[in-house]
Structure 1
Amino acid sequence: MIWLLNIDFDRTVKNAYKLLNKYNDLVLLSHTDYSPKVTASYTLEMHSQTNKVSKQVEDMVMLHVDAENEVSCIVKAINKLDTENRRRLYDAFVQTDLNRTDVMIRYGESRKSYYRKLKVAVYKFALAYQGSERLIEQTDDITS
């Protein structure tokens, strides 16, 4: 676990931002008729798929399956975080009817404070993400 000391915070956050900014596109690409519902504690829950007609594996396009898996991994990583960070990520990346300025007003935070706290939430998401090795950037300098 010594490698955790060498994480490049800014590059890791940048990689996680790229993935989270694609979340809504992945939901559309996965051809699912749902997005996760949010509980009072901002835990995301995928809707049941029991009402869907099952398709033959050979009829499925791998792109759609990959997108659905990616959405699931993102949801799982968000759910590993505390309520405050889940709420920030949900409002910033999942919810589409509010822009960032509206969210800042809702939180009663300055722009600088909002983005600083969002950056920390995104960093924690990167650590919790199942494919975190894709997101986490490490520095070579062990002494820092």
Structure 2
Amino acid sequence: MLLFPEIDRKKTKKKVHDVLNSYRSLVRIAGEKHSPKVTTAYIFEMKNNDSEFSRKTEKIVDRKYLAEVELAKITEAMNQLDTYDRQLLYDKYMDRNFTTNIAIYMKYHVSESKFYRELEKAMIRFAESYESGKLLIEK
């Protein structure tokens, strides 16, 4: 196995999109007190919690707990990225205000094509960071 195998960028981007696109739903399921706080430098900080998980029975999967675990994984991966990548992914997938791609690339004062190139790079870097490359798809 190669340390840096050739990556199927299209499939990897799809997996990253699926994970990050679920972010807003995960925050709603986990509850506001479990959503990461975003600092001005776009560093994600998990809020303190007392691990208050309510389990009705041992056999029922606790959606809230699973959402919290997934949020923690996303937070950890986001914090491994540089500020620009974090900002870009936050604006695209995590901001409570659903912003169009046009508004985002106008905010950054870049062309549409440059925006999509930079977004793709940020998504690949996120895939590398998420659980040590779990989202990467090899060719």
Q: Do they superpose with TM above 0.5? A: yes
Question: Is 1:112 aligned to 2:109, yes or no?
Answer: no
Structure 1 Cα separation of the partners of residues 66 and 54 of structure 2: 16
> Counterparts in 2 of 1:22-37, with a 5 A limit?
22-37=22-37
**Counterpart of 1:97?**
97
- Regions of 4+ moved over 4 Å: 55-61
> Taking structure 1 as reference, are residues 34 and 57 closer, same or farther at Cα in structure 2, changes over 3 Å only?
closer
Higher RCO by CA contacts (8 Å cutoff, separation 6 or greater)? 1
- 1:88: how far off? 0.7
Question: Relative to 1, partners in 2 of residues 1:98 and 1:63: Cα closer, same or farther, differing over 3 Å?
Answer: closer
Report the Cα offset of residue 18 of structure 1: 0.9
Match of 2:9?
Answer: 9
What's the counterpart of residue 123 of structure 1? 124
Query: TM-score, normalising length from structure 2?
Result: 0.85
Shift of 1:55: 4.4
Residue 71 of structure 1 aligns to which amino acid in structure 2? Answer: L
Amino acid of the structure 2 residue aligned with 1:129:
Y
How far 1:31 moved relative to its partner? 2.9
8 Å Cα contact 2:24/2:94 also seen in 1: yes
Give distance in 2, aligned partners of 1:97 and 1:20. 15
Q: State how many pairs are aligned.
A: 136
Q: Distance in 2 between matches of 1:23 and 1:55?
A: 20
Please provide the CA RMSD for this pair.
2.2
What percent identity do the matched residue pairs reach?
Answer: 31
In structure 1, list runs of 5 or more residues that go unmatched: 140-144
Query: Comparing 15-24 with 60-69, which one deviates more in the overlay?
Result: 60-69
